[in-house]
Amino acid sequence: MRFNFDSPDIPDVLLERRDKGRVVFLCGAGISFSSGLPGFADLTQHVIEFYQPAEGSELHKAFQPWVDKNAKEDAPKVPLDQIFHMLYQEYGREEVNELVAKRLNEFKPVGDAGYEHGLIRQLSTSSDGKPQIVTTNFDLLLELGDGKGLPRHEPPAFPDIKLGASLEGITYLHGRLNNTGEGRHPYILSSADFGRAYLSEGWATNFILRLLESYTVVLVGYQAEDPQVKYLLQGLNHDGQYDRTKIYAFDKGEPEDIEVKWRDRGVTAIAYSDHPVLWSTLEAWAERARDHRAWRSKVLEMAQKNPSELEPHERGMVAHLVRSNAGARAFANTEPPPHAEWLCVFDAGVRAGNTATDYFNNSQFDPLDAYGLDSDPERIDNKQGLEGDDDDDSPVIMYEDLLTGSWGDGHSIALDSRLGSKQIGLPSRLASLSRWIRRIHDSPVVAWWAVKKFGLHPTLETELKGLVQRKDIHPNCFKAWALIFDGVKQHAVPYYYRPYYTLLGLLKTQGWTEEVLVFVSTEMAPYLRYSPATGINGAIPPRSEWDNVELHHLGNWDVKSPFRDLTKIDHPKEKNLLKLARILEGHLRLSDRHHERIGSVMFYPPSCYPDVVSEEDYQEFNLFRLVFDDLAQLFPDDARIMASGWRFDDGLQFIKLKLYALKFKLLFAASEVTEAICTIDRTLFWSDKSRQELLFLIKGRWVDLSTLEKERVIGKFLEGPERYEYWSESEYPEYKADSVAEYFKWIDIRREAIPASLMDTYDALAPALNQVSEERIKRLAEPRRVRVNSITHDESTAPISVLPAHKIIAAIDAIEPREFGSFVNKTPFAGLIKQEPRRALAALLYLAKKGEYPVVHWKKILQDWPEIDDPKTNQALLRRLGLLPKDTLMEISHPLSFWFDKFFVTMLKDNEEALWLAFDEFINAIWQSEEDVAKSSIADTTIEGRSLNLSRRTYGHAINSPAGKITECLFNQLRTMNLEKGDGVPDFIKSRFDKLISLGGEGQDCAVVIFAKFTERMLWLDTDWTVANVIPWFNLKHENSEPAWNGFISNSKVPYLPLLIHIQEHLKHLFPVLYKWSWSEGERKVAAQIIVELGMPHEDTPASLVAQDFKNSIRSMKNTQRSDAIHYLGVAGRRDGGKWKERVIPFINNVWPREKKLRTKAEIQAWISLLTHSKEALPELLECAKWCLAPVQLEPYWTQQLTYEYEERKPIASVYPDEILELCYLVTPDSTTGLPVNLEEVLDLIEQAKPELVKDRRFQHLLDLIESA
pLDDT of residue 363: 77
Give pLDDT tens digits for 617-653. Answer: 788 899 999 999 999 999 999 999 999 999 998 889 9
Average pLDDT estimate for 1023-1034: 96
Residue 1239 · residue 1233 · CB < 8 Å: no
CA–CA dist 544, 444 (Å, integer) = 8
- Residue 1247, classified by CB atoms within 10 Å of its CB into exposed (0-12), middle (13-18) or buried (19+), is middle
Q: How confident is the model at residue 787 (pLDDT cuts 50, 70, 90)?
A: very low
pLDDT for the residue numbered 177 = 87
pLDDT at residue 434 tops 70 = yes
Average pLDDT score over residue span 1178-1197: 89
H helix and E strand count, the chain: 64, 18
Residue type, 1209: R
Kind plus residue range of the DSSP H or E element containing 364: strand 363-365
pLDDT of residue 412: 43
Residue 352: C-alpha distances to residues 113, 358, 367, 369 (Å): 46, 17, 6, 9
Name the band, by pLDDT with cuts 50, 70 and 90, for residue 178. Answer: confident
Q: What pLDDT score was predicted for residue 776?
A: 77
Specify the pLDDT at position 1151: 94
| CA dist 1133 → 438, 1140, 1145, 1164 (Å) | 53, 4, 9, 18
Q: Are 443 and 488 in contact (CB under 8 A)?
A: no
d(CA 1269, CA 1265): 6
pLDDT at 786: 45
The pLDDT value recorded for residue 767 is: 82
How far is CA 584 from its chain centroid?
46
> What SS3 state is found at 1029?
helix
Q: What is the pLDDT of residue 667?
A: 96
Q: Does pTM surpass 0.75?
A: no
Instruction: Report how far Cα 653 is from the mean position of its chain's Cα atoms.
Output: 43
Q: Three-class SS string for 1207-1238?
A: ECCEEHHHHCHHHHHHHHHHHCCCCCCCCCCC
Checking if the pLDDT of 1049 tops 70, the result is yes
DSSP labels for 165-231?
----EEEETT-----SS-S------SHHHHHIIIIIS-HHHHHHHHHHHH-EEEEES--TT-HHHHH
Q: Do β-strands 792-794 and 824-826 pair in parallel, antiparallel, or remain unpaired? A: parallel
Q: Are 168 and 130 in contact (CB under 8 A)?
A: yes
* CA end-to-end distance (rounded Å), the chain: 23
- Where helices occur in 978-1106 by DSSP H, the ranges are 987-996, 1001-1013, 1015-1021, 1023-1029, 1041-1049, 1057-1067, 1070-1073, 1081-1095
pLDDT at 491 over 60: no
pLDDT at 414: 45
**Cα–Cα dist 204/320, whole Å:** 35
Residue type, 779: R
- Whether 908 shows a pLDDT value over 90: the answer reads no
Q: What is the pLDDT of residue 613?
A: 56
Q: Which pLDDT score, from 0 to 100, does residue 672 have?
A: 96
For the chain, the C-alpha Rg in angstroms (whole number) is: 41
pLDDT in the model for residue 409: 55
CA distance 621 to 656: 10
Element (H, E) at 943: strand 942-943
Residue 389: per-residue pLDDT: 59
The whole-number average pLDDT for the span 351-376 is: 86
Q: What average pLDDT score do residues 126-134 get? A: 93
Residue 939 pLDDT > 90: no
Model confidence at 463: pLDDT above 60: yes
Cis check for the bond before 1032: say yes or no (omega within 30 of 0). Answer: no
Question: How crowded is residue 703: how many other Cβ atoms within 10 Å of its Cβ?
Answer: 8
Contact (CB, 8 A) for 899 and 865: yes
Give the pLDDT band (50/70/90) at residue 240.
very low
Task: Say whether pLDDT at 1202 is over 60.
Answer: yes
Q: Domain limits of the chain? A: 12-35+113-288, 38-106, 294-463, 690-784, 788-866, 876-1054, 1191-1269
**Does pLDDT of 163 surpass 90?**
no
The answer, yes or no, to whether residue 241 has pLDDT greater than 60, is no
Mention every residue, 6+ apart, whose C-beta is less than 8 A from residue 731: 820
pLDDT at 231: 75
Question: Which homologous superfamily is 12-35+113-288 in?
Answer: TPP-binding domain (3.40.50.1220)
Q: State residue 1168's pLDDT score.
A: 93
Mean pLDDT lowest among 153-162, 318-327, 1086-1095: 153-162
pLDDT of residue 10: 93
The more confident residue out of 354 and 1233 is 354
Summarize pLDDT for 2-30 with one digit per residue, the tens.
999 999 999 988 999 999 999 999 999 88
Q: pLDDT, tens digit, for every residue of 1062-1085?
A: 999 999 999 999 999 989 888 999
User: 947 falls in which pLDDT band (50, 70, 90)?
Assistant: low
Give the model's pLDDT for residue 495: 61
By C-alpha distance, which of 491, 404, 405, 478 is closest to 451?
491
Q: Per mean pLDDT, which range of 165-169, 460-464, 940-944, 1003-1007 is the poorest?
A: 940-944
Mean pLDDT computed over 303-319:
95
C-alpha dist (Å) from residue 61 to 75, 83, 926: 14, 10, 65
pLDDT band for 899, please (50, 70, 90 cuts).
Answer: very high
Angle ∠(674,678,682) on CA atoms, nearest 5: 150
| Omega prior to 499 cis, within 30 of 0 | no
Mean pLDDT computed over 1128-1132: 92
C-alpha–C-alpha distance, residues 1153 and 1115, integer Å:
7
pLDDT at 386: 65
Q: Picking from 130-144, 776-790, 1019-1033, 1190-1204, which range would have the lowest pLDDT averaged per residue?
A: 776-790
As a whole number of angstroms, the distance between CA 382 and CA 396 comes to 11
**pLDDT higher than threshold 90 for residue 1251:** yes
Report pLDDT for 397.
64
Tell me what the mean pLDDT of segment 481-485 comes to.
90
pLDDT value, residue 764? 82
Model confidence at 514: pLDDT above 80: yes
Average pLDDT over the chain reads 87
Residue 469's pLDDT band, with cuts at 50, 70 and 90, is confident
Tell which phi-psi region holds residue 1233, choosing left (phi > 0), alpha (psi between -120 and 50) or beta: beta
Q: Which residue has the higher pLDDT, 411 or 583?
A: 583
Quick: pLDDT tens for 210-236. Answer: 898 899 999 999 988 888 787 777 666
* DSSP for residue 753: G
- pLDDT at residue 147, rounded to an integer: 86
To which H or E segment does residue 558 belong? strand 555-560
